[in-house]
Amino acid sequence: MQVVNKLTGEIYEIKDNTPTAIKDSWLLLSETIKACERAKDKLKLKIDEMLDDKGQYDYGDYLFRQFSVQRMSYDKSVMREVLDADLFDTLLVPDKTAIDTYLKENIDTTGDVGTTLRKTMVAVGKPYSTLRLERVKHDN
């Protein structure tokens, strides 16, 4: 299989002729992606030093521009006031990570609450499929 780097035109030959070659290629590509992400993180530090007062560095044909992003959420107390109680409950999505953290930190005082909650979990969103290569330890 061939993959082309659109920026450089470099052609990468990815071995896919045997199951072992596919596994080896998968491992190589996964580690390459991780290495590239680490490299980008290191470059970001240098880019931060280059940016002007507007948070930009202009190359003419390219422009680094720093953005500030603030995620927003609705105020629950205001939602409670302006929405019907059933609608409020329908729209409010529990924060699974925060709940899991709370249960883990308070396991001594919550008793069977965690078990009850896990048994009654409901699906959120559409299911999706992921693929990962896992190392298997064999007992010898």
Q: pLDDT (tens digit, 9 = 90+) per residue, 94-131?
A: 999 999 999 989 888 887 888 899 899 988 889 998 88
**At 56, phi and psi to the nearest 5?**
-135, 155
Read off the pTM.
0.65
How do the domains of the chain map onto residue ranges?
A: 2-65, 76-119
Contacts of 124 (CB under 8 A, 6+ apart): 93
Helix (H, G, I), strand (E, B) or coil at 57: strand
Single-letter amino acid, residue 18: T
pLDDT, residue 99, reads 92
Q: pLDDT (tens digit, 9 = 90+) per residue, 71-91?
A: 999 999 999 999 999 999 989
Max alpha carbon distance in the chain (Å)? 64
